[in-house]
Amino acid sequence: MSDRPIFATLPESRRVWAVASVHGEVERLRRLHDLLWPRLEPGDRLVYLGNLLGYGPAVVETLDEVLLFRRAVMALEPAEAAHVALLRGGQEEMWQKLLQLQFANDPKAVLAWMLDNGVGATLAAYGGSAEEARKQAATGVVGITRWTQQLRAAIQAHEGHFEVFGALRRAAFTDDGGLLFVNAGLDPSRPLEAQRDSFWWGGGGFAALQEPWGGYRRIVRGHERGHPGLVEGPVTLTLDGGCGHGGPLLAACLTADGSLADSLEA
C-alpha cells in the first residue's frame, strides 16, 4: 500500500481557478494561461481537472506547459502546502493501465477499448503506435512487460513528466470542506473515499445533484461526454467546451462560498 495521498487539499483558499479537460491541445492551454495569469490574486488556488492527455496533437508539450505554469504560480506565494492540484482524469487512468497492461486478464481487449477512447494520442506522443501496441499485446507477459518498460523510459526522457504523473490526485477540495473538484463525476450513493472509478466514468448522477453532497457547497467537474460548455446547477458546475474535440478550453473561478466569480475561454 502506498502512503501517497489520493486527494489534494487546497489550503486557505480565497478563490479557486479550475481548468477543464485539455486533451493535448497545448495552444489553447497557452492562450488560457495568458488570460489567467493577470487575473490571479493573492490567495488564489488552481486545479487542473484531469484529461491533460489524449486526443489532441501535443500531449508532451501540454505537460511541459502545465509544469511551467505551475512553477510560476507557486513562485507567487511560496508555501509548504501545494497551491496547484492536478487531478487524474479518464485519460490519465487509461495511460496508467496501459503501463501495466501485462497484468490485464485480456490485454488485447483492454488495449482495443483504450485505443477507442483516445489513448492512442498519448501513446504516439511517447514514441509508440497503435499498430505496435496491438502487436505487443499479443506477445504474452514477457513481451508486454518489455514494451511497457520502454514506454516508461520514454516518459522519463522528458524532464518533469514522471513528476506530473506522480502528482495526480483523484479529487481535490478546499480545506474548509466547501468546494470539491472532480474529473467527470461521482456516485452520490457512495462516500468520497469509496468513489474509485466513479471519478472518471460515473458522471450519470452528477447533474442530478440538487443540494449539497457530503457537506460540499459546490462540486466542479471538467469533463462531460456531451461537452455542453459551462453549465451551472444548484450545487454543481460542469466545465467542458469540447477541447480536444474541436471546441474551446474553459476555466472558471469559484469563491469560497461556491459562487462563480469569473470564467475564461480559449
Segment-wise mean pLDDT, segments of 10 residues, the chain, 266 residues: 72 94 97 97 94 92 96 81 89 96 95 95 94 94 95 96 93 94 94 91 84 93 96 96 96 96 98
Contact 186, 199 (CB under 8 A): yes
Specify the amino acid at residue 57. P
Task: Count the Cβ atoms, other than its own, within 10 Å of residue 185.
Answer: 24
Max distance between CA atoms of the chain, in angstroms, equals 54
pLDDT at 2: 38
Q: Which domains does the chain have, with CATH numbers?
A: 7-91+168-265 (3.60.21.10), 93-156 (no CATH)
Q: Which helix (H) or strand (E) holds 265?
A: strand 260-265
Whole-structure pTM over 0.85, yes or no?
Answer: yes
pLDDT at 81: 57
Specify the amino acid at residue 189. S
pLDDT at 79: 66
Among the listed residues 91, 153, 99, the one whose alpha carbon sits nearest the alpha carbon of residue 119: 91
pLDDT at 94: 95
pLDDT at 1: 32
| All residues at 6 or more sequence positions from 178 whose CB lies less than 8 Å from its CB, including other chains | 216, 217, 218, 256, 257, 258
pLDDT at 16: 97
Torsion of CA 162, 163, 169, 175, to 10 degrees: 180
Torsion of CA 153, 155, 159, 162, to 10 degrees: -110
| All residues at 6 or more sequence positions from 262 whose CB lies less than 8 Å from its CB, including other chains | 39, 252, 253
